[in-house]
Structure 1
Amino acid sequence: MAGAGTLVLLPAGALAARVLVDHGHGPTVVHNTTYADIETQVHSWTRDGSTHVRLMVDGLPPGQTFGAHVHTRSCGTDPLASGGHYQHSTDASIPLSEREIWLDVTAGDDGHASARRTVDWVIAAGTAGSVVIHASPTNPTTGAAGARLACTDVAFGQ
């Protein structure tokens, strides 16, 4: 279930900045029943023109690595409902890893995994709606990461 964005104003001063915080807890939809018991949290915030995203997952098989990415639409029962990977730019001269937000995770012995990514751009409201966990690590050339296992709604930029 995605929470509404919250605007937090920091104290006045040289370092004060507006911070927009978005949250998602879930998963909203599980596409592979093997992962029906996982729990996800996504926290995203913008500050000073940068976007920060943190993904936390519990209940994964220990030692396994999974791709995870910000996607363009909200989750749905059809795995493709969440759309493609969010891309800040379609300029092919910029490496794919710099145009998308990749959050690959490797589960520890306790099944917990987390990833954090900061990019120097802001996700515009309405252009991204979820984080999807994939079956395989992200291919650094193509961005592919296999089947969609679970999806968590996040109202980025709202």
Structure 2
Amino acid sequence: MRSLRVPAATLLTLFALSACSGGQTAPASGGASASASATGTNRDAEVEATFAEGQGAAITYLPELVPAGATAKVTSSSGDGTSTVTLELTGLVPNRHYGAHAHTKACGAAPADSGPHFQHEKDPVTPSVDPAYANPQNEIWLDFETDAEGKATATSTVNWDFTDGAHPQSVVVHSNHTATEPGKAGTAGDRAACVTVDF
């Protein structure tokens, strides 16, 4: 199976079908459902997916941290100068800290396929570990701690919009909370899992 990348036009069609059928979202391939809407300059998206090893809309690279069968829901709303992204997860390791960020590319079979963190103002130096760029105001950080049942929710709101030419394409779950000190800012350990989202 290939990674799920749902074009914006398809997402808009799914949203229109959803509105006409009483709010039910048409399922997308790969064990995920997706919807989106656009009003003026607004960009809204939603993806629900189940993690599996290999390829798909949600891939686990470290099943000991994100087991196959765990679920993710990503919702985002962007427009009028702000963007809000919410990540909801189930089936993870209980009572554990994780990091999570929006990344520049869609998920792939290899953990690095999703590219670096998406940044509103791009750091000219790679990798970006300067707190002036690698920070929760310039990136989408969604660090979380699971509860006793392995569930968690995290939300990030930033004061800038996603655009057609500049928006993330995935959310990556990392093995640790995100560091903030110079030289390590933005790092969060191994990439444990990835969810493809057409923000």
TM-score bin (small chain): 0.7 to 0.9
Instruction: Provide the residue aligned with 1:148 in structure 2.
Output: 191
Instruction: Provide the residue aligned with 2:173 in structure 1.
Output: 133
SS of the counterpart of 2:38?
A: strand
Instruction: Provide the residue aligned with 1:21 in structure 2.
Output: 44
* Among 63, 72, 93, the residue aligned to 1:33: 63
Report the Cα distance in structure 1 between the residues aligned to 2:48 and 2:179, rounded to whole angstroms.
26
- What does residue range 75-154 of structure 1 map to in structure 2 within 5 Å? 75-90=107-122, 94=132, 96-97=134-135, 98-125=137-164, 127-141=167-181, 142-154=185-197
SS of the counterpart of 2:69?
A: coil
Are the counterparts in 2 of residues 23 and 154 from structure 1 also a CA contact under 8 Å?
yes
Structure 1 residue runs of 4 or more that deviate by more than 6 Å after TM superposition: none
TM-score (norm 1): 0.84
Aligned residue pairs total 148
Report the Cα distance in structure 2 between the residues aligned to 1:77 and 1:102, rounded to whole angstroms.
23
- What does residue range 37-52 of structure 1 map to in structure 2 within 5 Å? 37-52=69-84
Q: Which runs of 5+ in 1 are unaligned?
A: 9-16
Identity across the alignment (%): 33
* Residues 89-98 or 145-154, more deviating: 89-98
Report the Cα distance in structure 2 between the residues aligned to 1:112 and 1:74, rounded to whole angstroms.
24
1:5 aligns with 2:40: no
TM-score (norm 2): 0.68
Are the counterparts in 1 of residues 131 and 180 from structure 2 also a CA contact under 8 Å?
no
Instruction: Provide the residue aligned with 1:55 in structure 2.
Output: 87
Change (3 A) 1:51 1:115: same
Change (3 A) 1:82 1:2: farther
Report the Cα distance in structure 1 between the residues aligned to 2:105 and 2:163, rounded to whole angstroms.
13
Report the Cα distance in structure 2 between the residues aligned to 1:90 and 1:129, rounded to whole angstroms.
16
Change (3 A) 1:79 1:53: same
The structure whose RCO (Cα within 8 Å, separation 6+) is larger is 1
- Pairwise CA distance, 1:18: 6.0
Change (3 A) 1:6 1:148: same
Report the Cα distance in structure 2 between the residues aligned to 1:93 and 1:85, rounded to whole angstroms.
13
- Pairwise CA distance, 1:60: 1.4
